[in-house]
Amino acid sequence: MDHFLYRDGVLHAEDVPVPEIAAAVGTPFYCYSAATLTRHFALFDEALDGMDHLVCFAMKANSNLAVVKLLGELGAGVDVVSGGEYARARAADIPGERIVFSGVGKTRAEMRQALEGGIRQINVESEPELRALSEVAASMGVEAPVAMRVNPDVDAGTHEKIATGRKEDKFGIPIARARDVYAEAALLPGIRVVGIDVHIGSQLTEIAPFEAAYGKVAELTRMLRADGHEITRLDLGGGLGIPYTRSNEAPPLPREYGEAIRRTVGDLGCEIEIEPGRLIAGNAGLLVSEVIYRKEGDGRSFLILDAAMNDLVRPAMYGAWHDIVPVIEAAPGVEAAEIDIVGPVCESGDTFAKARPMPPVEPGELVAFRSAGAYGAVMASEYNSRPLVPEVLVQGDQFAVIRARPTFDEMLARDSIPEWL
Ligand code: LLP
């Protein structure tokens, strides 16, 4: 469920008409709903009710300071994957004890930054990384709280580019080698093992792969405890999928996901961490764009928008589907016709949808991409020197710009021309 509904034929973000925001900030822009973010966080929190747990929002899905701040105030922790995300988390007042650091290639500088600023846990993905962390922590005279990310060799059944838990993927330590790595970790200075971490992929639409992976983690927990390690925490990653189109079969609900967690690891007495990103932010955001032209090609029609692949790259990158709807609802009985929906960037890949049934929308009218709150703005670039589009947060009947559109002067000021030119 989200809070983007038509009222009297006009798409609203909570209580604010979308055209009102467009008039204030210009198009394209991202628009997030605070009520939807809040509701989605609460669904996960309730799904783990009764278990000692922390929901760590995967900031890579949406790292706007206002979004992170809102979730932090609800009690969320965060999962960060870079020094930049760590800095954002701290700027959004997330305390170190609620920050988990993931990622396959943490640098020593990032390790130092986290250990200095405060960190709940660092998820280590390889032996070389473990040794580097040991050196960094020991040189600072501190102990790094560590969970090893294990690769359970489970196929999440998701898009090739976002599957991470098969043995051919670059992520984690093969689960069969985990005992040896934990044995090494126990001997290293500056390392304090606290748990196990797993994450098998994103946009999962079945519970079974989670259950298979978590079952393996439970088995490993017992084995490591028998070896004398103290395993008090399990980080079960993110990955629960969302419906990208209303006609799709709905992915499992957080409640069902929570039940799978209880069934597999619920009896181990561990604190449970999860790292959902997409399900919290995805359907809490729209990308709003204006139609620039309708163009008749040879046997095809094109709707050319002012948004492009640099603003929302998911269709170009993964062939992803986003529902695209007119902001002013079509009158009943108006027929949809198939049209290609494209952006103005000079690449054929700048195509959001091919032969998409759309009611007639004319130049100057607005359309909205649904499910654009996760992996939307964060993956945007300035390709074609197109400024990053603004982000707006709506709460009830109020809205605020939470990232402004840069001016061309601001964009140009980041470059410099050497004096010898
Ligand atoms: N934890 C780890 C270690 C991750 O790598 C990810 C996502 C998450 C949590 C959050 O997963 P989520 O709950 O959002 O599925 N750009 C792609 C998605 C990449 C996901 C990468 N890792 C997309 O637009 O579909």
Query: 220-252: buried (b, 16+ CB within 10 Å) or exposed (e) per residue?
Result: bbeebeeeebebebbbbbbbbbbbbeeeeeebb
| Residues 209, 113 share a domain | yes
- pLDDT, tens digit, for every residue of 296-326? 988 899 999 999 999 999 999 999 999 999 9
* Ramachandran angles phi, psi of 234, nearest 5°: -125, 125
- pLDDT, tens digit, for every residue of 321-351? 999 999 999 999 999 999 999 999 999 999 9
- pLDDT, tens digit, for every residue of 55-105? 999 999 999 999 999 999 999 999 999 999 999 999 999 999 999 999 999
Indicate the pairing of strand 77-80 with strand 53-58: parallel
51 has a pLDDT exceeding 70:
yes
89 inside domain: no
ipTM score over 0.95, yes or no? yes
Bind-site residues: 239, 275-278, 314, 318, 347, 375
Q: Which residue has the higher pLDDT, 247 or 363?
A: 363
| Residues 294, 163 share a domain | no
Of 246, 274, 302, which residue constitutes the final position of a domain? Answer: 274
55 inside domain: no
46 inside domain: no
| Residues 203, 109 share a domain | yes
Q: Is 266 helix (H, G, I), strand (E, B) or coil?
A: coil
| Test site for ligand 1: of 60, 160, 236, most ligand atoms within 8 A of the Cβ | 60
How far apart are the C-alpha atoms of 172 and 126, rounded to whole Å?
6
290 inside domain: yes
Whether 31 is a known active-site residue: answer no
340 inside domain: yes
pLDDT at position 246 is 62
| Residues 263, 302 share a domain | no
293 inside domain: yes
| Residues 403, 291 share a domain | yes
| Residues 230, 311 share a domain | no
393 inside domain: yes
Those residues with Cβ within 8 angstroms of residue 374's Cβ, 6 or more apart along the chain or in another chain? 61, 62, 242, 277, 278, 280, 281, 282, 285
Of 236, 252, 274, which residue constitutes the final position of a domain? Answer: 274
* Ramachandran angles phi, psi of 415, nearest 5°: -90, 160
272 has a pLDDT exceeding 90:
yes
Strand partners, 144: 191
Which residues constitute the domain of residue 253?
A: 103-274
How far apart are the C-alpha atoms of 386 and 406, rounded to whole Å?
10
247 has a pLDDT exceeding 70:
no
User: What mean pLDDT is reported for the chain?
Assistant: 96
325 inside domain: yes
* Span 120-140, average pLDDT: 98
278 lines ligand 1 (CB under 6 A): yes
371 lines ligand 1 (CB under 6 A): no
pLDDT category of residue 249 using cuts at 50, 70 and 90: low
Q: CATH no. for residue 288?
A: 2.40.37.10
| Residues 314, 265 share a domain | no
Atom of ligand 1 nearest to the CA of 203: 15
Of 274, 303, 338, which residue constitutes the final position of a domain? Answer: 274
79 lines ligand 1 (CB under 6 A): yes
199 lines ligand 1 (CB under 6 A): yes
| Residues 297, 232 share a domain | no
pLDDT at position 248 is 61
Q: CATH no. for residue 154?
A: 3.20.20.10
Measured in Å, residue 373 CA sits from the centre of ligand 1 at 13
Split into its structural domains, the chain has a count of 2
